[in-house]
Structure formats: C-alpha cells, structure tokens
Structure 1
Amino acid sequence: MNAPDTAQAKRPDEMAANLSPEVREKYRNLPRPPRFDTVAQERLHRKQRLAAAFRLFSKFGFDEGVAGHITARDPEVLDSFWVNPFGVHFSQVKVSNLIRCDHHGNVVEGDYPVNAAAFAIHSRVHQARPDAVAAAHSHSIYGRAWSTLGRKLDPLTQDVCAFYEDHALYDDFGGVVVELDEGQRIAQALGGNKAAILQNHGLLTVGKTVDEAAWWFITMERSCQVQLLAEAAAARTSEPLRLISEAAARQAYSIVGTAQAGWFQFQPLYARIVKEQPDLLD
C-alpha cells in the first residue's frame, strides 16, 4: 500500500497584510499554546485536552452511538496517536482510558479496542498531514444534514469565514470507512485544508493542537446549522441570501481562521468542562 502524499496547511498562520499594524499587534499578543519542558508533560497535556474535547462533544450532542473519534498525535512516537476507546461513550472518556494506536492499527497502550473507522481515517490523515497534531470526526446532526447536499459552506457569517477557501468536499461516499484506501482518499481530498465535508457522512477537522481541531469541529457544525436555517428561511421568504464579499471574507479569515484563533476559542470551553466534570482528568 502506498502512503498518501504529505500536505501542509494551505496558508501561513499570519495576519492579513491589509490589517493595520495596531490590529495585528493586538492579535499577536493573544495567549498562545503552551510550551513544555518534557515529552511527558506534553503528552499529558494533549490527553487532557483530548478527554475534555470528548466531554464537550457529548455535551453538545455530537455523539451517535459508538461513532466518532478525535485523535492526538503522540509527541514522542510520532507515527502513533491517542484516541477514544471503542465502545465507551464520549461522556465517559477520561485521560486514563484513552488508548494509543500505531499506524498499523495495533493498540500499543490501553485496555480497549480501536474503532476500525478511526484507524482507517485518522491514520491516513496524520500520515498525510505532518502538521496536524489532532483530527476530529463525529456524526453530528447538522454536519450530517449539510453533507447530504454535496456542497461546501458559503461565507454567510463572520464565524464561517474561518473556513473560507480552507475546507474541502469529499464526494465519494463508499460505505462505512474500514479500508485504508478510502481513508487515503479522504486525506487526499482534505489536502492542506483545516476541514472537509464528507458527503453523506459528516465533518472532519484538523489542527496543530487538540484545542484547535476540536474548536473547528464545533464551529463548523454550528455553521452548517446556520446555513441550513438560513437557506430554509430564504426559500420561505423568496429573499436571496446575502453572502460576505471575497475581500471581507478573507479579512475575517485572517482573524478568526488562524491556528492561534482556533486554539484560543477553545480555552473557555476547556475551563468550563473541567469545572463541571473534573473526573475527565482522572
């Protein structure tokens, strides 16, 4: 089996050149992801963020039985990733029951099996995207509904501009993803984008941190909900949707669509879920 070609994020994580120096300076001074003295510290941090992301996905109703997975690349063994234990509800995932899977599908740490679809999709994505520390996919309601239309999202709101010219469509649904070949095709369709709409399936997002990948999924799901509602309202009133201009969408992207912005947006959610459900850190 041939490994997928590697791809990098589509654009550099910088502020747009047309922003004023004052605005650029304000955004440069926002908090940034932490740095770590040891691999052990970084691994624990990623696992804590991963467990929190699952609890949030449960809280937001992104769970569907045993479907869905978020992965985090191990900071030391780079060709392996941490993932939720197969058969454990998102609301019960915690640091201590996460499992580590290698790119051959073997569970090398943990006491649970791995979801075959998680391995098929995420192993190919992590291999194709060395910059992607984390990837998130779940069968959320609005992402699934939107995916049936076989279209990318339009620039309707400021929030969805995080995905402007930075998400892809995978339009070749071939059933439940259990074969590496389809995982490879998904990775190729994703390319250097931060997200992909998997037709008749749902959403997939990636990030340089777990925080970022989880936030992109959360806000993309809500953007699907907004567009479905907006199109229904427009059809009822016969009023056309007002799309954001290309220039304005790109300006908004330069602020809300960066890796730093994605990471930062997740921080209040992390603090909230840890306070509400501290057992996730066990």
Structure 2
Amino acid sequence: MRIGYQGVPGAYSEMALQKYFSEIASNQIEAIEYDKFSTLIQAVANKALDYAVVPIENSTTGLISRTMDLFRYQPITAVGELLQPVQHVLWGIKGSQVEQLKVVYSHPEALAQSQNFFEQHPFISSQAFEDTAKAAQWVAQQNDPTIAALASQRAGELYDLIPLKEAIQTEQTNTTRFFIIRHQEFANQDGNRLIAYFETRHQPGALLKILQTFDLFNCNLEGLNARPIPGQPFSYGFFIEVNIEHAKASLSLLKEVLNQAAEYVQLIGRFD
C-alpha cells in the first residue's frame, strides 16, 4: 500500500499517517515523501498513490486553505479524518540555549501557532521554512547555536537535537485535523459527515438557496468557508461541512437539488 505525505520523517503528517494506519503491518505500507502538497494531491488523482494524508484545519489558525484549495476539481475524496495533537518543541544543537538564539525556523503554520513565545522573546526572529521536520533537519546540519527549529518530539529526536523549550504553542490544546484521501474511483463513500465544495450562480440570494437546501433536508451545518475561485477575481466558492445523520432524504436526492441550485458542486469527502 502506497501512502503519501508532505515532508520528511518526523513531520506531523508522517505522525498522522503512522497513527491512522497503525493497525496495518508496517511491511505492508510504503510511506512516500513529497516536497509539495500540489504534487501529493496530483499523485492521488493520477492513481500513483493508494492514499495520502493531508492537513486541512488547525484549532488555532483555522482552515489550511493552501491544501483545501487543491481538492477542487480533482477526482479525489476524503474517506477518513484524524485529529493530531500538535505540541511544538523548540530544538537546538547541543550546547545551545534560548538566550543566545537569534532565529527560529519552522513552517509558517507552526510559527503562527507560537506567537506568544516570539512576543516574550523579542530578540528572536522567526523564519518560514517549508516543513517543521525539514527545519529540524536543516538546523542539525548547520551546527549553529544561534538558530533553532520548531518541530515535533519525533523530529528533534530523529535529527539528534536537544529540546530548549517544550510545548511553546500559544494554545495548549493545539490540534491539526488531517484528511485521509484517495481516488474517488476507489472510495467507499459512506458515513454521516459530508464535506462539499460549491460555486453559486451570480444572482441575489444564491448562497441562501444552498443553505436553505441543507435546512430543508434537516442537515446540521458544521462549517462554512469562502475561497476565491481561480481565474475569477472577487468571485468565491464555498467549502461546507454538514452532518447528514438525520437527513430527511437520500444523498442522491440532496445532490440533485444542490446541482440545480448551484453552478458547480463537488463532493470532497464523506465518512463517520
């Protein structure tokens, strides 16, 4: 089974992969690293991967739009989710101390989730890096006591760094939500959680008609996010998440009504 994730060993995505597929023997899994989310998503769309693990939302910073936007117009479906606690550790080389640091490297999301630390240490600047684990790997290679990385416990241990400060994220219950995705041809689309993307017609009340449709079908709205439509300045599509456990009609009928009310509708995921 080929399962892809963005980053290198020690990344939170790799940790989520290991946790979600923990009941499958390790010798049956080939975990494949990708540098970019775009190539990871495309590999699923091209059937080069059986699954991929992708972060889509954080409890501190909200929707991770750079990944969710890639789901649009692709033949992929989320078939499951995992909530991964995110505890950022400040890692440095042996002999390093917080007081001598000048720069901390990490992924922009991790840096944003740790703003209180930087406010309390104004002499330390933050520098965006493509991945938390890669930042730890790079700091280990530089052998510079004035730099450090924000990364997971596993990443720091993998790259032989020392913890300078633990759990420095602003929100101590910081959690990232991951989707488990696969090609829609192989997806078993069952469950009471439904995630969809739709684009409304450019007319008064268009969005209201969509929301009223879910209300009429007795679906519980759990999330709604607006995103710019590519190539259409100041036009927006919407990611919506609903619970359909008590829906008054079948999903096929709901989709039929939505297709009549919206310009474009795409099922992003369905699972329990």
Common fold, TM-score beyond 0.5?
no
Q: TM-score, normalised by structure 1?
A: 0.22
Structure with a larger share of its residues in helix: 1
Q: TM-score, normalised by structure 2?
A: 0.23
Larger Cα-atom Rg: 2
